Amino acid sequence: MNNRVISGAADSGLDVAVLTKEWPPKIYGGAGVHVANLVPALEKIASSDKSIKRIGVHCFDGARSDAHGYQLEQSLSTLNPSIAALLIDAAMLPHLGAADIAHSHTWYANFAGDLAKRTFDIPHVITAHSLEPRRPWKAEQLGGGYQISCWIESTSYRRADAIIAVSDGMRDDLLNCYPFLDASRVCTIRNGIDSQKFSPTSSRDFLEKNSIEGSFALFVGRITRQKGLKHLLQAFKQVPKEIGLVIAAGNPDEPGVGREVEALINELRAERKNLWLFQEMLPHDELLQLLSAADLFVCPSIYEPLGIVNLEAMACGTAVVASAVGGIPEVVMHGVTGDLVPWSENHHDFESDLALTITSLMNDAPRRQRYAKAGRERVVREFGWDSVARSTISLYQSLLH
């Protein structure tokens, strides 16, 4: 697949290589959502101001029509994901020689950016969506590969020309985890959201088809320890039974957390009928219906650099209850667009506080309505992708002048 040439762009514009594991339709996390929105936003600006000549997207999961896709031979499909990522990153390298900038996303693709910098002497920009040292539970998923993913991340960050943190909280984490970093190389450009794509809808056919009725709270996210679903399920044992819960979640990252979550769901279902589980990535229109119809969106993450999913809920006019970790307080303004619950290593305390906060807000419709209105207004005002793209282009230009 050839690079995406920006129509009418001048020859002097930048040639940017975007390196990512995720690219539509294979999107499963916030990093993938970010890249899928950032690239079109960059292209839109470049088509008018000629700042970018072309964007080449290099991604995992094989050939496709809109990007350079890479995939290992079938005989290598059983490799540890970390080793597989190294091999795919190496396969990207021969296709990066014409780029002026390499911009990588997550440790899966960071090594390709580092190789491009070393081989072709071009600047390497990293957007930090999460940090491996802050996710020790990944060892359950990657096994010994977790040591490799940590090495990839640390090595790539050490040599990167610039690192973009998606929140100020994430920037603090970066400098804490990697004290060798020069703070001047680390800047904050917060994630954005398409407030037209995510906006309130009155459609309810998905809810009616699945007999979702009554008041309910909503969780959307992967079944992984990071997202805190098991803490939400424990908390719901203390929430009045008339309050329902809808869970839209992908497959578990690893079997252990999957078994824990399944057992907790079965416990709750034994005492309440208003629990609905959708264990797949829902189509956009169905997700919109849930986000719009929910009385409350709950994000119980124990680690979250920003939390795009909170922006999506706010954009759909829904009040939020979230844990006060990472970059979440930069999105959810406590007492304005939602309520924040302090995280505690004492899980019982966190779960009790979460249950009390959910119950209090579910019983206060006027407050939920205020939060919903303020949340939508804040998303539209402060989190547009145009702003993210312009700040990113300015960073690119600063590295070449």
- Do residues 52 and 9 touch, judged by C-beta distance below 8 A? yes
Q: Using pLDDT thresholds of 50, 70 and 90, give the confidence band for residue 7.
A: low
Domain count, the chain: 2
Q: Is residue 238 part of a domain?
A: yes
Poorest-pLDDT segment among 64-68, 157-161, 220-224: 220-224
Are 23 and 123 found together in one domain? yes
Q: Is residue 104 part of a domain?
A: yes
Are 255 and 183 found together in one domain? no
- Do residues 114 and 159 touch, judged by C-beta distance below 8 A? yes
Are 351 and 393 found together in one domain? no
What percent of the chain stands above pLDDT 90?
77
Are 376 and 395 found together in one domain? no
Are 298 and 360 found together in one domain? yes
Are 299 and 355 found together in one domain? yes
Q: Is residue 363 part of a domain?
A: yes
* Structure confidence at residue 299 (pLDDT): 97
Average pLDDT over residues 163-177: 94
Are 142 and 11 found together in one domain? yes
Q: Is residue 156 part of a domain?
A: yes
* Structure confidence at residue 47 (pLDDT): 85
Q: What's the maximum distance between 2 C-alpha atoms anywhere in the chain?
A: 66
Average pLDDT over residues 230-238: 96
Q: Is residue 237 part of a domain?
A: yes
Are 31 and 174 found together in one domain? yes
What percent of the chain stands above pLDDT 70?
97
Range of the domain at 110: 4-192+384-400
Structure tokens at 399: 């590295």
Q: Is residue 15 part of a domain?
A: yes
Q: Is residue 200 part of a domain?
A: no
Are 109 and 221 found together in one domain? no
Q: Is residue 198 part of a domain?
A: no
Are 211 and 176 found together in one domain? no
Q: What is the CATH number of the domain that holds 91?
A: 3.40.50.2000
- The order of strands in the sheet holding 320-323 is 275-278, 244-252, 216-223, 296-299, 320-323, 338-341
Are 230 and 328 found together in one domain? yes
* Structure confidence at residue 11 (pLDDT): 58
* Structure confidence at residue 49 (pLDDT): 86
Is residue 10 predicted with pLDDT exceeding 60? no
